[in-house]
């Protein structure tokens, strides 16, 4: 997909501006994550993993009312019939979220309005989360439905905010605001809704300007840190360092430092 292109139909819209790709959940105003959306997202994330021209990704909902209310529960019987079992349905979602989490480029989720169930679990797999200062209702309210999060939400939320906040949110089916999410460490930044989407794009552009090989290396180190011992983490960091040695970006970074100027990375891939 070339720069400055977009798709205007389907459950997943794809917008491309330079090295930033924006994925849009196209089911306004609720932006349910339908079967068709998950199929399209899985295919697009697989493509993104190998697209060196894209160096940062933004995921948002269509419109300005809601990020996503999560899975379209009315489709659950159809999903089970199509895939053969509830396990297969949830396995796909776990697979897609793991692929997002392990992309070698940063992914930013933009949270506003309802961000519930899968509408929080997907952002939890992203590397950055920005939230609206007003109107956001963020939570994993599955206990209100007599069940529990099924897309890795309990594990990722606990790693993100700690056991106490995770239990408080999940066991009480709480829906918290953007400022509260910032206070407990669930999101990185909070912005007025009329500035939120522009800020997400600015952050994506900033990250896209960083050296791609080094970014991929540090994502491997940090995303995998929770599953590695200290020795394993240090070894992964060493591999990341060695992968940057002698690259054009590493040479440019050192030269720019010596010349006291801002480095210009990724010129070979533009």
Instruction: List, for residues 221-249, the tens digit of each pLDDT value.
Output: 999 888 888 898 999 999 999 999 999 99
Architecture of the CATH domain 212-269: Orthogonal Bundle (1.10)
* Contact status, residue 122 vs residue 99, Cβ threshold 8 Å: no
Residue 115's nearest CA partner among 164, 181, 21 is 181
Architecture of the CATH domain 5-208: Alpha-Beta Complex (3.90)
Mean residue pLDDT across the chain: 94
Count of CB atoms within 10 A of residue 88's CB? 12
46 pLDDT above the threshold of 50: yes
Name the 3-class secondary structure at 114: strand
Alpha-carbon span 197 to 159, nearest angstrom: 26
Residue 67's nearest CA partner among 7, 18, 139 is 139
Residue carrying the six token digits 């999560």: 70
pLDDT digits (tens, 9 = 90+) for 57-75: 999 999 999 999 999 989 9
pLDDT at 117: 97
Question: Could you tell me which residues come within 8 angstroms of residue 22 by beta carbon, excluding any fewer than 6 positions away?
Answer: 14, 15, 16, 57, 58, 59, 60, 201, 204
Alpha-carbon span 268 to 270, nearest angstrom: 6
Please, where in the chain does CATH 1.10.12.10 lie? 212-269
pLDDT at 226: 80
Averaged pLDDT for residues 72-85: 92
Please, where in the chain does CATH 3.90.226.10 lie? 5-208
Rounded to two decimals, what is the model's pTM? 0.93
Catalytic residue positions, numbered: 121, 142
What pLDDT band is residue 3 in, cutting at 50, 70 and 90? low
Token reading at 46: 């697989």
């Amino acid at each position: 997909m070339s720069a400055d292109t977009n798709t205007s139909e389907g459950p997943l819209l794809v917008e491309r501006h330079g090295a930033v790709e924006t994925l849009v959940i196209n089911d306004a105003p609720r932006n349910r994550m339908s079967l068709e959306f998950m199929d399209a997202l899985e295919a697009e994330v697989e493509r993104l993993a190998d697209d060196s021209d894209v160096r940062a990704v933004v995921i948002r909902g269509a419109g300005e009312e809601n990020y996503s209310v999560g899975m379209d529960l009315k489709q659950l019987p159809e999903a089970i019939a199509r895939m053969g079992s509830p396990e297969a349905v949830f396995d796909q979602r776990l697979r897609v979220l793991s692929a997002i989490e392990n992309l070698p480029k940063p992914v930013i989720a933009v949270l506003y309005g309802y961000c519930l169930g899968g509408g929080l679990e997907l952002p939890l797999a992203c590397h950055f989360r920005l939230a609206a200062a007003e109107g956001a209702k963020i939570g994993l309210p599955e206990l209100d439905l007599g069940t529990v999060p099924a897309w890795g939400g309990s594990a990722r939320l606990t790693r993100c905010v700690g056991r106490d906040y995770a239990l408080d949110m999940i066991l009480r089916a709480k829906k918290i605001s953007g400022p509260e999410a910032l206070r407990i460490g669930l999101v990185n930044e909070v912005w007025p809704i009329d500035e939120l989407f522009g800020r997400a794009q600015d952050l994506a552009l900033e990250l896209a300007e960083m050296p791609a090989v080094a970014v991929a290396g540090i994502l491997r180190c940090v995303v995998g840190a929770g599953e590695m011992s200290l020795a394993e983490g240090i070894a992964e960091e060493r591999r990341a360092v060695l992968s940057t040695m002698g690259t054009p970006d590493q040479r440019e970074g050192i030269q720019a430092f010596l010349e006291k100027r801002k480095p210009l990375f990724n010129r070979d891939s533009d």
